Structure 1
C-alpha cells in the first residue's frame, strides 16, 4: 500500500496557529489568507480523523490530540524555515523574528543590557524575548533558543555552556551579628530562611565540604518567592538568610551590604547555558543572536574585578 506524501504545509500552518493562538495572526505571519489557514487545519483533521483544535468565537485551544502532535509539527516548521535560510546566499542579511526564553531576573539584569548592541548591528532582526523562570518547551512553544541557569539533564536539546553560576549563602552583616554566624550547616536550623520557590528542590539546601562531606538542610522559611529578586530587599533589611545566585548579589557583596556565610561549604555549582531545539540547521538570524549572546555572556560580569 502506497502512503500519501505528508501534508507538510498544513502541519507547518498548524504549528504556527498553535504558536500564535490565532488563525488570523498565523495567517498574517505566514502571509496567507485566513481561509487558507482554516482549510489547512480542516484538511489535517479530516486526514487524521481527530480534532486538533477547539475553537470558539473567543478562544482557541489545543485538544489532547493536538498537544500530542504539536512538537513534531513545530519541528517541521522550524526545520523548513531553517532549510530555506540555509539555501540562501551566505552573504544574505539576517532578518526575521527570533524568539528567546530567559529567566526573569537574568533577563532584566543582563539580557536587557546587551540587546541594544545586537539591534544596532542587525536592524532587520526582530527579537521576541519571553521572561519566565519556568522551563518552557522550546519546540512546542516555538522558541529558537533559551538561556537556562541549571545543571542540565540529558535531553534532545542542544546546549552550549557559557559560564559558571555559584549559589551563595548570604545575609546582611546586621542579621549575622544578631542571629550568629553559622560554622556548620546544622546550625542553620535556628535561622530564618528566605527561599526561592522555583528551585529544583525548593526550601532544601545541599552543602558540601572538602573534608566533612555533604549536609542537607531544610530551614524554616519566613518568605517564599517565585522570583529571587524579591528576596533581596528582605535580605538587606536583615530579615533572614537566602541561597542566592552570585549574579544577583555580587554588587551587594562588594559593597558589604551582604555577607557570605561558611565559604568553605559550597552549594552545587550551576551553569549558564544557551539551549536550542535539536536541529543542525540554524537560520542566519538565530545564529547571529547565538553568537552575540555567547560573546557578551561568556565572561560573567559578576566574576570580573
Structure 2
C-alpha cells in the first residue's frame, strides 16, 4: 500500500471533499447518508494511511490543513470531470458558461452582428458577452479579447479560426428626395466619366491600404473628392446625408432606405470576414459554442453580405 496521497482511493478523496465543503462531521455524514461516527472512523483511517492530518479543528468547525486544501480542491475537480463525463455519456452536452470578450468593428456590430449575438444569448444564456468595439486589430495573444470578428484578407498567423464569407462593396448614392427612386444628382446608368464628376466621399488616410480607397482617389475628378472619414459608419452617414457618392459594404448600403446602388459589387474590393481566436482558447466550451453559432448564423446571410 502506498503512503501519502498515493494511499488515497477515489472514495477517500470524495469523502475529504464532502467534509471540506460541509465543515463538520455531522453535516458531512448527512450529505453522504451515513452516521457521523462512520465518517469519523474513515477520516482517522485516511489520516493514518497518508501520514498527515487532513483537517484541523477550529472551534466547532473542521478546516482543511495545508495538505487538506489541495485534496479538497482535487476532489472538486474530479467531481466536475465525473459530472461532465456522465452528461456526455447520457447524450447531453455541458452548457457553456462564463464571460466571453468579443472584438469587432462598429459597422459589423451595428449592421450585422447584434441580432446574431442576441440569438446566441438565447441559445447559451449562461455566457456573458463583453463586446469590444475597436476598428483596429486587437492582440488576442495578450487577451485583449477572446474572439475577434474581422474583415481582413490576411488574418494573423498567430490566430486560428474560420473564414465566414466575403464582404461585397458597391457604389452608392442618396436617392432623390422627391421620391423618383433615382440617386440624387446621379443616374445608375451614367457612364464612368459622369460619375467621376459627382461629389465623392471616401474612407480616411489610415485606411488608404484598402483598394476601395485607392479607387475613390483615382475615380473622382480633380476637386470632387470632398469628404473623408475614418470609419465605415461615418462614410455611410455621409452618403445618406447627400454629401457625395461612395463605396460601402453591401450589407450596409442595401439595407439603407435612402440609398441606391450605382454599380454592381466590385469583386476587387471584396474582403474576407473572419472569426478568429487564440489556439489556447479554441476548445473552451464557451468559445467553441460561440464560434459554431456565429458561423451558422452568418452563413445563412452570406448572399446578403456578399451583395448578391
Same fold (TM over 0.5): yes
Shift of 1:302: 6.6
Which residue of structure 1 aligns with residue 53 of structure 2? none
| Structure 1 residues 167-224: Cα deviation after superposition (integer angstroms, max 9, x where no partner) | 111112448563566523x6554332222225353673349xxxxxxx9546643222
Deviation for aligned residue 1:266? 4.7
* Residues 54-133 of structure 1 aligned to structure 2 (within 5 Å): 89=85, 91-133=93-135
User: Is the partner of 2:114 in helix, strand or coil?
Assistant: helix
SS in 1 for 2:95: coil
Task: Number of aligned residue pairs: give it.
Answer: 210
- Uncovered stretches (5+) of structure 2, i.e. residues with no partner: 1-79, 177-181
- Secondary structure of the corresponding residue to residue 230 of structure 1: helix
How do residues 264-303 of structure 1 correspond to structure 2 at under 5 angstroms?
266-279=267-280, 281-300=282-301, 303=304
Q: Quick one: which of 183, 191, 197 aligns to 1:183?
A: 191
Change (3 A) 1:192 1:92: same
Q: Distance in 1 between matches of 2:81 and 2:172?
A: 48
Match of 1:161 among 137, 160, 163: 163
Kindly report which structure 2 residues correspond to 1:28-47, keeping only aligned pairs within 5 A, or say none.
none
* CA contact 2:282–2:288 (8 Å) conserved in 1: no
TM-score normalised according to structure 2 size? 0.57
Find the counterpart in structure 1 of residue 201 from structure 2. 194
The verdict on how the C-alpha distance between 1:120 and 1:260 changes in structure 2, with shifts beyond 3 A counting, is closer
| RMSD of aligned residue pairs (Cα, Å) | 3.4
Alpha-carbon distance, 1:99 to partner: 1.0
Q: 1:26-67 CA distances to partner (integer Å, 9 max, x unpaired)?
A: xxxxxxxxxxxxxxxxxxxxxxxxxxxxxxxxxxxxxxxxxx
Quick one: structure 1 residues 258 and 273, their matched pair in 2 at CA, closer, same or farther if it must change by over 3 Å?
Answer: same
Task: Give the match for residue 204 of structure 1.
Answer: 213
Deviation at 1:138, TM superposition (A): 1.4
| Distance (whole Å) between structure 2 residues aligned to residue 265 and residue 280 of structure 1 | 36
Aligned to 2:56: none
Local SS of the residue matching 2:244: coil
1:245 equivalent to 2:244? Answer no
- Give the one of 217, 222, 225 matched to 1:221: 225
- Distance in 2 separating the partners of 1:124 and 1:284: 11
TM-score normalised by L of structure 1: 0.58
* Larger Cα-atom Rg: 2
Counterpart Cα distance in 2 of 1:189 and 1:217: 6
Q: Is contact 1:118-1:289 (8 Å) kept?
A: yes
Q: Is the 8 A contact 2:170 2:266 kept in 1?
A: no
Distance 1:187 1:150, change over 3 A: farther
Question: SS of the counterpart of 2:185?
Answer: helix
Matched, 1:261 2:262: yes
